[in-house]
Structure 1
Amino acid sequence: MNYFDCHADTLTEIISGETLDQNSGDLDLNRLGDFVENYTQIFAVWKDAQNLNKEDPDRDFLQLYHRAIAYLEEENRKILLCKSGEDMKKAHSMRKAAAFLSIEDISLMGKYVENVREMGFRFAMLTWNYENKYGCGAAFDQEKGLTSEGKELVKTLLSQNLVMDVSHLSDQGVEDLFGLTDRPIIASHSNVREVRDRPRNIKKEHLKELIRRKGIIGMNFFSNFVGEEPKVEDLLRHMDQVLEMGGEDCLAIGSDFDGCSGRFPEGIKGVQSVPDLRRALLAHGFGESLVEKIFHENAYRFVLENVK
């Protein structure tokens, strides 16, 4: 099968002595090799900003970044770091997986934010769960939006053709971002708030705007965002809502593997469960062409059109 996952924290969560090819986390290339044909992954570079080295946070970020790059380079026989849609096509033609980098909470970069594109990032989230100098996270205060510095940074990122990602951003921050650009925007790993009322899930009105812009909405597997004691059927309820809003060409997967502390709906244990999830969608009544869109085609098309 073809598989495109819009968000995983794997590169920053692999424990010492393990590799991207084989590890004890939620995702590795060895398990993917059992079922996947064409695979693309957007990997987040992330750390809780409160845990940065207070004396030298810039150096702390740089070490985190180089560690993530090293994991990819170590497995370059199987996966390539890509910086454009054409790079992705080339990787697949070589029978290799395609990897993209996303910065999750751009304040982590400190002074290196000036080099965000040069360092290979093509997707950017302004915040994580907290408030920073650029804006406010959804889990902190929904009514606080982007700061003036955040708005200027958005303009810079857009001028560098980075794709903005509203997962983790407050409601007002999303509104502010919409006001700054009409470009396609993604929610890499967020579900529907009207289905499961959690701050990290996104309101229908904002999802409708993402759909209007031909963006991407990646379904998050974290159990707390899916439902109460959730099963796969609860995840399908979020997908049904996106489809009812006209999101057939925007719906995708944003698993949040290695970012959920192993807390998934019943029936999902890690990347090895992806074929089971695909079968569940077919059994739910989704046709083969729609399932292919969700698991691969929508996000693949988005990257070809928007990541240059």
Structure 2
Amino acid sequence: MKYFDCHADTLTQVIKEGESLEKNTCDIDLQRIEKFADTYTQIFAIWKNRKEILPGTESSVFRKSYEKAIELLQKAENKIRLCTSAKEMEDAHQNGKAAAFLSVEDVSIMGKDIERIRELGFLFVLLSWNYENEYACGAAMNQAQGLTDRGRDIVKFLLQQGIVLDISHLSDRGVEDLFQMTDKPIIASHSNVRALCNHPRNLKKEQIQELIRRKGLIGMNYYRNFVGGTEDVEAIIRHMDAVLNLGGEDVLVLGGDFDGCSGEFPDGIQGVQSMPVLRKAMLEHGFGEKLTEKVFFENARAFIGRNL
């Protein structure tokens, strides 16, 4: 079985002494994945709550999280490889290893290190988290507030660096501003469908259609509040159906937000070990082997191949 997930906070959540990426009490570890997946790619986010960072200390606080993440990956290098291109991902898989990519969730937490974003190995960026920063505003804060002037400048810089922009967490107005600034592929790594669950973190129909047009990615999030309550995995599949009904067969992927949901998942999802349950439910729902494979792996792999 092949498995590609577009968003997890695990590298910033492995904090208990003695735990590792190979084995831990978080939502993801490599031992659990090895039990069901022979090919695995994960986009890991580096994240901090900006409100908890004192002004002027962004770079030093960020660097601690970044260095810890790199250390976790290095200690598991016999099983997983940090990648910065499609070729490196394919090489990792051919050598029996998982592949990891890095994302930064709220680019403002990087401070001055933003200038070295590619050098540090990041390929994906979310401009904001839940709140407002100097670049943009989070969807949970104010949907009508768009990119700032500094935000427009940082978008231009990130695009020049070949960074893939991620609109999960970004306000509706910020998404509109971003769409107007560039026609490049953009992703929503961990966002669902607002028409099914009216939450500001979910995507509007028009946003989904634009991501489809651009051949981006839309990653299904397992957080209960974004799915629509305490239902089982069928609720996640209904969000998949909504994307597919808009023509999203080639952009629909998984973005479970593991270790970013405080364990609040629909019934049937406990952690990464539940992915065979989701896959089985998709097949029973009638997706078929080919479509299920596209959602579980091939769509995200193809996006990496086209853009990185």
So what's the TM-score if we normalise by structure 2? 0.99
Residue in 2 that maps onto 1:120: 121
Give the aligned length. Answer: 307
- TM alignment of 1:66-215, pairs within 5 A: 66-215=67-216
Find the aligned partners of 2:60 and 2:104 in 1 and give their Cα distance.
Answer: 16
- TM alignment of 1:32-47, pairs within 5 A: 32-47=33-48
Matching residue's letter, 1:58: S
How far the C-alpha of 1:152 sits from its partner, in A, is: 0.8
Find the aligned partners of 1:62 and 1:246 in 2 and give their Cα distance.
Answer: 41
Which deviates more from structure 2 when the two are superposed, residues 289-298 or residues 222-231? 222-231
Which deviates more from structure 2 when the two are superposed, residues 51-60 or residues 174-183? 51-60
SS for the counterpart of 2:259 is coil
How far the C-alpha of 1:298 sits from its partner, in A, is: 0.1
SS for the counterpart of 2:113 is helix
- TM alignment of 1:58-69, pairs within 5 A: 58-69=59-70
Find the aligned partners of 2:184 and 2:45 in 1 and give their Cα distance.
Answer: 21
State yes or no: 1:13 paired with 2:13.
yes
Residue in 1 that maps onto 2:276: 275
Residue in 2 that maps onto 1:24: 25
Q: Deviations over 1:138-170 (max 9, x none)?
A: 000000000011011111101111000000000
SS for the counterpart of 2:6 is strand
Matching residue's letter, 1:3: Y
How far the C-alpha of 1:202 sits from its partner, in A, is: 0.8
Residue in 2 that maps onto 1:248: 249
Matching residue's letter, 1:302: F
Matching residue's letter, 2:94: S
Q: Deviations over 1:206-236 (max 9, x none)?
A: 0100000000000000000001222111111
Residue in 2 that maps onto 1:2: 2
Find the aligned partners of 2:16 and 2:232 in 1 and give their Cα distance.
Answer: 32
How far the C-alpha of 1:53 sits from its partner, in A, is: 4.2
Q: Deviations over 1:180-227 (max 9, x none)?
A: 110110000000000000000010100100000000000000000001
Residue in 2 that maps onto 1:231: 232
Q: Deviations over 1:106-164 (max 9, x none)?
A: 00000111011110000000000000000100000000000011011111101111000
SS for the counterpart of 1:4 is strand
- Percent of residue pairs bearing the same amino acid type: 57
Residue in 1 that maps onto 2:52: 51
Which ranges of structure 1 fall in alignment gaps of 5 or more residues? none
Find the aligned partners of 1:217 and 1:55 in 2 and give their Cα distance.
Answer: 34
So what's the TM-score if we normalise by structure 1? 0.99
Conserved? CA contact 2:229–2:266, under 8 Å: no
Which ranges of structure 2 fall in alignment gaps of 5 or more residues? none
How far the C-alpha of 1:55 sits from its partner, in A, is: 5.9
How far the C-alpha of 1:56 sits from its partner, in A, is: 2.3
Find the aligned partners of 1:93 and 1:4 in 2 and give their Cα distance.
Answer: 15
Find the aligned partners of 2:2 and 2:151 in 1 and give their Cα distance.
Answer: 36
Runs of 4+ in 1 over 6 A off after TM superposition: none
Q: Deviations over 1:232-265 (max 9, x none)?
A: 1111110000000000000000010000000000
CA-atom RMSD, angstroms? 0.8
Residue in 2 that maps onto 1:286: 287
